[in-house]
A and B are shown apart, each in its own frame.
Chain A
Amino acid sequence: MRKAFLLFALLAVSFITLPIIHIFVKVSSHQLLETIKDREVWDSIFISISSALSATAFACILGIPFSYLLSRTEFRGKELIESIVNIPVAIPHVAAGIALLNEKTTVGKFFSYFHITFVDTIYGVIVAMLFVSISFVISSAIVGFNSVSKELEMVSRSLGASEIYTFWHITFPLALPSILRGAVLSFARGISEVGALLILAYFPKTAPILMYERFEEYGLNSARPITALVILVSLFIFFCLLYLTKRYAKG
């Protein structure tokens, strides 16, 4: 049986790696060098990384307190709220972009009062990424908080620590490995987003949007080198983050 399973494992790994390797095989070093010198490419990579980082930060700020409440309290309709959290994962991302495209609503007006608009601005990029990635932070943080026993919190309180001290010194550090895992996934999800961005904020161009544009306008050959570069940068960041979280988790 193991041998048969091994075959499936090999197929799965090749399915993931072969298309990526293929891109690198097809790109000449000359093309790659040209792309590395291309200012627009680096700008788009910078927009991608900085917006995905900001979106992840907002996801943590919004998501962590919410996850703590969901983990620690019982109330009617809790399951409903938990499934609402996963809506962004379930709906097509173009639909998410259309749903977010609401300039004339109260929320839109509220932000425009502070000169923040979302159509074709960096704020729009961040909001779109936040929408599609916040579920990852919330789900992982709930798992993290659930893994910290309430008794540890009780012990901390009885030793003289306030509720907030207990949260920052006991609950949060113990849930942190899970939260970080969620944050890494959320970052990865944000950086790879296209659908919602096509609708809400095509500009400033993120790397995936630029890839898509080059493919549409100039064809496969011009899209490949930038794709190769973006894959390299993404993988580098992803593995760095993964390594850091793993190292932290081990203490």
Chain B
Amino acid sequence: MLRARIKKVYPGFLLDINLEIAENSYNLLLGPSGSGKSLTLKIIAGFEKADEGKILLQGKDITDLPPEKRSIVYLPQNLGIFPHLTVKEQILYPVRCQKKSLNKNFFEKIIQEFGLDNLLERFPSQLSGGEIQRVVLARSLMAQPKLLLDEPFSDMDFHLKMKLSDFLKETKERFNLTVIHVTHDPIEAVKLAERIFIIEKGKIQFSGILSELFQTTKKGFISEIAAQLLYLKELIKNAKSRT
């Protein structure tokens, strides 16, 4: 569905990524900071240019398209809610900015699904953290994206983070979305991933499902992640046996 072969050279850093993403899948991009995961996301979304390579989305070459022509919605760490627009204006933004005619049924459906009926005239400053997530996801869906790119939810407290990841996964199932989610949190990885990609030093060092990760013999960040997860599993088991 998405095939990206991209190279970008910086002084002292080379990003050399070969990524294949299946339709309707939830993919996790894991890596230490400075590994190139956010840069990869920005190149796929069109905010950074690769020095060489090609990006194909559903067979279409999008390498040289501007971000607004790619059908890829980007969600940054802080979710990117527009502070000066009401909930209704946020949700209609993708329709208005492209001067498309509004599909009323789809709009109604989204409002209903995300429980936003009573919030339409409110501004973001009048919303709770959970409500903001719902608005942002509803807005993303109105753009009818082929791909959703997520930066890690790192600024949030643990509960909100877990609630959001649940919600994201649920939304993905209901609307047949394809998602690439960047994180450095192993718990999120276990919770969400159908497929995991681990990036280190600008290269994809591992791609596969969770159980494969535990069997990997590779060294470095990958074994670190696997070890962390196994350790977590042990801890929980021990704690359970104690009670």
Please list the residues of chain A having a beta carbon within 8 angstroms of any beta carbon in chain B.
149, 151-152, 154-163, 165-166, 169-170, 173-174, 251
Encode contact with A along B102-115: 1 for CB under 8 Å, 0 otherwise. Answer: 00000000000000
Question: What residues of chain B lie closer than 8 Å to A251, measured between beta carbons?
Answer: 84, 123
Given A152-B80, A154-B80, A170-B82, also A159-B75 (CB < 8 A): no
How far does the Cβ of B105 sit from chain A's closest Cβ, in whole Å? 20
How far does the Cβ of A29 sit from chain B's closest Cβ, in whole Å? 48
> What is the chain A residue whose CB lies nearest that of B151?
A151
- The docked-state distance in angstroms from the alpha carbon of A155 to that of B80 is 6
Question: What residues of chain B lie closer than 8 Å to A158, measured between beta carbons?
Answer: 45-46, 67-68, 70, 72-74, 143, 149
Does B66 touch A at the CB level, under 8 Å?
yes
- The docked-state distance in angstroms from the alpha carbon of A173 to that of B149 is 26
- A-B interface contact total, Cβ < 8 Å: 67
Contact indicator A160/B143 (Cβ below 8 Å): yes
Question: What residues of chain B lie closer than 8 Å to A169, measured between beta carbons?
Answer: 93, 97
Does B129 touch A at the CB level, under 8 Å?
no
Please list the residues of chain B having a beta carbon within 8 angstroms of any beta carbon in chain A.
45-47, 66-68, 70, 72-78, 80, 82-84, 93-94, 97-98, 123, 139-140, 143, 149
How far does the Cβ of A67 sit from chain B's closest Cβ, in whole Å? 19
Closest A-B pairs by Cβ, 8 of them: A155-B80, A161-B97, A158-B74, A157-B67, A151-B76, A159-B94, A160-B98, A159-B143
> What is the chain A residue whose CB lies nearest that of B73?
A158
> What is the chain A residue whose CB lies nearest that of B45?
A158
How far does the Cβ of A170 sit from chain B's closest Cβ, in whole Å? 6
Which residue of A149, A165, A173, A174 is within 8 Å of B97 (Cβ)? A165
Question: What residues of chain A lie closer than 8 Å to B76, measured between beta carbons?
Answer: 151, 154-155
Question: What residues of chain B lie closer than 8 Å to A155, measured between beta carbons?
Answer: 74-76, 80, 82
Contact indicator A160/B68 (Cβ below 8 Å): yes
Instruction: Please classify the interface of chain A as helix (H, G, I), strand (E, B), loop, or mixed, using the class held by over half of its residues.
Output: helix
Can you name 30 A-B residue pairings with CB atoms under 8 Å?
A151-B76, A151-B78, A154-B47, A154-B74, A154-B76, A154-B80, A155-B74, A156-B93, A156-B97, A157-B46, A157-B47, A157-B66, A157-B67, A158-B46, A158-B68, A158-B72, A158-B149, A159-B73, A159-B97, A159-B139, A159-B140, A160-B98, A160-B143, A161-B98, A162-B97, A163-B66, A166-B97, A170-B82, A174-B84, A251-B84
How far does the Cβ of A160 sit from chain B's closest Cβ, in whole Å? 5
Question: What residues of chain B lie closer than 8 Å to A174, measured between beta carbons?
Answer: 83-84
Question: What residues of chain A lie closer than 8 Å to B149, measured between beta carbons?
Answer: 158
- The docked-state distance in angstroms from the alpha carbon of A251 to that of B123 is 10
- The docked-state distance in angstroms from the alpha carbon of A98 to that of B139 is 56
Question: What residues of chain A lie closer than 8 Å to B73, measured between beta carbons?
Answer: 158-159
Contact indicator A159/B45 (Cβ below 8 Å): no
- The docked-state distance in angstroms from the alpha carbon of A104 to that of B84 is 49
Question: What residues of chain A lie closer than 8 Å to B74, measured between beta carbons?
Answer: 154-155, 158
Given A152-B80, A154-B74, A251-B84, also A159-B93 (CB < 8 A): yes
- The docked-state distance in angstroms from the alpha carbon of A149 to that of B82 is 10
How far does the Cβ of B66 sit from chain A's closest Cβ, in whole Å? 7
Most B C-beta atoms less than 10 A away, residue of A159, A162, A166: A159
Contact indicator B75/A160 (Cβ below 8 Å): no
How far does the Cβ of A186 sit from chain B's closest Cβ, in whole Å? 24
Question: What residues of chain A lie closer than 8 Å to B98, measured between beta carbons?
Answer: 160-161
- The docked-state distance in angstroms from the alpha carbon of A166 to that of B80 is 13
How far does the Cβ of A245 sit from chain B's closest Cβ, in whole Å? 15
> What is the chain A residue whose CB lies nearest that of B149?
A158
Question: What residues of chain B lie closer than 8 Å to A149, measured between beta carbons?
Answer: 78
Question: What residues of chain B lie closer than 8 Å to A166, measured between beta carbons?
Answer: 97
Question: What residues of chain A lie closer than 8 Å to B47, measured between beta carbons?
Answer: 154, 157
How far does the Cβ of A182 sit from chain B's closest Cβ, in whole Å? 19
How far does the Cβ of A3 sit from chain B's closest Cβ, in whole Å? 38
> What is the chain A residue whose CB lies nearest that of B140?
A159
